[in-house]
Copies of this chain bind each other. A is one copy, B any other.
Amino acid sequence: MRYIKLCFVCLPLFALAQQSPVEQVRKHVQTHTREIVQSFQEFLSIPNIASDMPNIERNAAWIAHQMRVLQLDKVQLLYPATKGMPPAVYGEIMTPGATKTLIFYAHYDGQPVDSTKWAAGLHPFKPSLYTDALQNGGKPLAYDQTSYEPQWRIYGRGASDDKAGVMAILQAYAALKANGIAPKVNIKFFFEGEEEAGSDHLHEILQANQALLQGDLWVICDGPVHQSGQQQIVFGVRGDTHLEITVFGPKRPLHSGHYGNWVPNPGMLLSKLLASMKDASGKVLVKGFYDDVTPLSAAEKAALAKVPPVESALQKELGIAQVENPKLSLAEAINQPSLNINGITVAGTGKYSANVIPTKAVASIDLRLVMGNDWKRQQDKVIQHIQSQGYFVTSKEPTDEERMRYPKIAMVVRSGGYNAQKTSMQHPLAQKVVDAVTTAQGKVVLTPTLGGSLPLFVFEQYLKTPPITVPIANHDNNQHAENENIRLKNLFEGIVTFASIMLLPK
């Protein structure tokens, strides 16, 4: 009820004239929660898996309709050259006399979903309203309310990742328009429909629409706010690539009694190989692993020093008594390249365990990259490390002849990958965004890089335009998993944040 009270008690009409445009937007949001949340319900009810083209096109049509209601110009669907792939939805507002153009990005597709894994009463495409997060004891509410409290949550696929981004951007402009506040920069809207499927065709859209998509800065709305709960602005992402390593035992599974401690066990070989890759403090022992890293700039170091500490709260939340290297904060750690085991498969365990010497052992390795790293070169270094451990490395199943020649054989399959991307923290327009958001939200965490990876290099590569990311979702949003949700305060304040960016000076 706090928002409604404010409306009647604190904001008599004469005060409105003195409010900043951002405060006018916040007020607008507080008095229009019903319109916003009910429009969001309509949007969330359209299934949005990238491979489900009929529903993807319903989503795109719904967004285009909202754009036309807002009287955006050049509203259109931008299809990639490859047939049958999701379109991006485009619209723009050009401002007479503007010297800068911002392009706002979010994606309307969501992660594939298994509705049976969702909690009772929830369904990914039947959004539902709760008094709080389930893990905090939240109770269901009728979706239709007169007004909506900021601590309430909406559960549904895309509620945070990333229909909330689409919604925040569109509603930010709607709030400006409703209050007669004109932007001073040109604004372009670009909503992708294939992000969760890997953005494999995004570059086709960018390439084919270079003139339409000219601009000075991409502002990406995706992901969660900082773990401290504060708004963050993120200047980069780590790159990413993978290796799958298979080491070999006997050609057929052997009885672990008849042959155990004579025939080599591939599970033990793989364990020794993986163990050789990192020391007890998490330092990667692969030769040259850290050699290419571009040192952090002074601005980045200063930003890292200001990141609010979240470590002990996170350790408690995750049940971790000690992190890999207690000398590094989380923010410092993700500014280094990493080597992680995503999975290991060796025969079976538990009820699938059998008395065998397995034929092979497989590990999937994730390599995250920072500026300076090249994803193929980073793969090479790991492969050279495997060779340094006495392995013959091949990209195919070993032949009988290779098996008899080499005591240790590793098949290494390289995945694709891409490098890290960073926009300078000194970028003038990005600094204006920081100023605007800081004014709107009181304080902002500046993050040199996200630990995760997004193919943001495409905007630089195909359009020569740098991106920055302004995420709005709550940190506990269950992104990519069952019971995805958004806390309404994050949606409401996200609208305010994006309105503040649209109001940059020319």
Q: Note all chain B residues with C-beta closer than 8 A to A463.
A: none
A261 to B368, CA, bound (A): 9
Give residues 281-299 of A contacting B (CB, 8 Å).
282, 284
Q: Please, which residue of chain B has its CB at the minimum distance from the CB of A407? A: B322
Q: Note all chain B residues with C-beta closer than 8 A to A356.
A: 342-343
Q: Note all chain B residues with C-beta closer than 8 A to A406.
A: 321
User: Is A438 close to B, CB under 8 A?
Assistant: no
Select one of B258, B274, B333, B398 contacting A452, CB under 8 A.
Answer: B258
A342-B353, A342-B355, A363-B349 are contacts. A404–B316 as well, Cβ < 8 Å? yes
Q: Please, which residue of chain B has its CB at the minimum distance from the CB of A404? A: B321
Which segment of A65-73, A202-210, A236-244 sits at the interface? Answer: A236-244
User: Is A505 close to B, CB under 8 A?
Assistant: no
User: Is A431 close to B, CB under 8 A?
Assistant: no
User: Is A2 close to B, CB under 8 A?
Assistant: no
Which segment of A14-22, A28-36, A148-156, A264-272 sits at the interface? Answer: A264-272
User: Is A251 close to B, CB under 8 A?
Assistant: yes
Contact indicator per residue, chain A 378-403, by CB within 8 Å of chain B (1) or not (0) = 00000000000000000000101001
Whether A349 lies near B362 (C-beta < 8 A) is yes
User: Is A62 close to B, CB under 8 A?
Assistant: no
Contact indicator per residue, chain A 314-330, by CB within 8 Å of chain B (1) or not (0) = 01111111111100101
Q: Please, which residue of chain B has its CB at the minimum distance from the CB of A223? A: B258
Q: Which of A251, A255, A321, A354 has the most CB of B within 10 A?
A: A321
Rounded to whole Å, the gap between the CB of A185 and the closest CB of chain B is: 31
Whether A357 lies near B345 (C-beta < 8 A) is no
Give residues 333-363 of A contacting B (CB, 8 Å).
333-334, 336, 338-350, 352-358, 361-363
A242 to B317, CA, bound (A): 33
Q: Which of A248, A262, A272, A276 has the most CB of B within 10 A?
A: A262
Q: Please, which residue of chain B has its CB at the minimum distance from the CB of A400? A: B319
Contact indicator per residue, chain A 401-443, by CB within 8 Å of chain B (1) or not (0) = 0011111000000000000000000000000000000000000
A257-B450, A342-B256, A349-B364 are contacts. A403–B264 as well, Cβ < 8 Å? no
User: Is A197 close to B, CB under 8 A?
Assistant: no
User: Is A308 close to B, CB under 8 A?
Assistant: no
19 contacts between A and B (CB under 8 A): A244-B353, A250-B318, A251-B317, A251-B318, A254-B318, A258-B451, A259-B334, A259-B451, A261-B368, A263-B320, A263-B323, A264-B324, A267-B343, A271-B272, A271-B274, A316-B404, A321-B405, A343-B348, A349-B362
Beyond A251-B318, A272-B275, A342-B347, 6 additional contacts (C-beta under 8 Å) are: A268-B275, A272-B280, A322-B407, A343-B356, A344-B344, A345-B348
